[in-house]
Amino acid sequence: MFSLRRSYRGSLVVVLAAMSAACLVKREAARSLSVGEPARAASTEPRVQVEVLVDGRGEDASRTIGTSFVPLVNLFHLGATSLVPEQDRAIRSSANGFATQIVGSLDRDLGALLARRVPGGVFVEDLPANAPTADYVLTGTLERTAMRSQLNIFPGAVLSWLGVPFLYTDFELRFSLQLHRCGDRKTASFGKVYEYSGKRVSGAYYNSAAARALLVEGLRQTLDLASADVSAAIAALGPCAAPEPAGTAAPPA
């Protein structure tokens, strides 16, 4: 009877510990990441309405690498590719003993991050109901995200305590932007595609947050380029001209 009670208590402790660990995972959206200094917008700068990006990544969430299904072979190589990593629990970190996980929707988060980086930018979801018409509207499409993880159990994981890497992570990001001026949604005054590709290796005691680090690096690099390009395009095009008052006649030729 004593051993049964002891076993029950032991099992209960394990279950409670697992539940506590799950509750201690900090969930955060990509828009909360530190990916560069926000723009310092002056009141005289043209107003830029930044839209939510269209999610063009397709319906496939993940793909498992074929070697993962082959016995014995999967001791040497297995892995998977997450095509919607922020919704597939693929961007996790346990650095410094604190577990975090990126959640949300990257197409929305990219719009929010762009609005912070572009001078005069306002995210469409933050616009008040009576907001004046913007000089510019920034739209875009999130075309691809791919977080690929490949694992080597033998000999990598076995010898990881010696510093041997056993987890290989790479990340791809691609999105396009179009800048529309003075209410013209049909014609883009500026358009460009931004891409990032990066890789990291992890061991038992280094780069435990490789996926998160790659996402931050990818966002920082692409947003730096995008914000600079959009700012330069707006500076060259200038603000929209104020409409003439009603009844104002054109000057004689």
Digit-coded pLDDT (tens) for 115-151 = 999 989 999 999 888 888 899 999 999 999 999 999 9
Cβ neighbors of 118 (< 8 A, separation 6 or more) are 39, 48, 50, 138, 227, 230, 231, 234
The pTM of the whole model exceeds 0.95: no
Query: Cα(116)–Cα(50) distance, rounded to whole angstroms?
Result: 10
Under the banding of pLDDT at 50, 70 and 90, the label for residue 250 is low
Q: pLDDT at residue 2 above 80? A: no
Q: How confident is the model at residue 1 (pLDDT cuts 50, 70, 90)?
A: very low
* Whether 227 contacts 114, CB under 8 Å: yes
The pLDDT assigned to 196 comes to: 98
Residue 218 per-residue DSSP state: H
Token look-up 């498992």 returns: 64
Confidence band for 48, pLDDT divided at 50, 70 and 90: very high
Are the CB atoms for 108 and 49 separated by under 8 Å?
no
Identify which has the larger pLDDT, 39 or 229.
Answer: 229
Beta bridge partners of 46: none
For residue 103, the SS3 value is: strand
What was the pLDDT predicted at 16?
A: 34
CB 222 within 8 A of CB 174: no
Question: Closest Cα to residue 146, out of 85, 80, 196, 200?
Answer: 85
Residue written as tokens 């002056």?
42
Average pLDDT over residues 94-114: 86
Tokens read off for 84:
């919607």
pLDDT at position 46, please?
Answer: 78
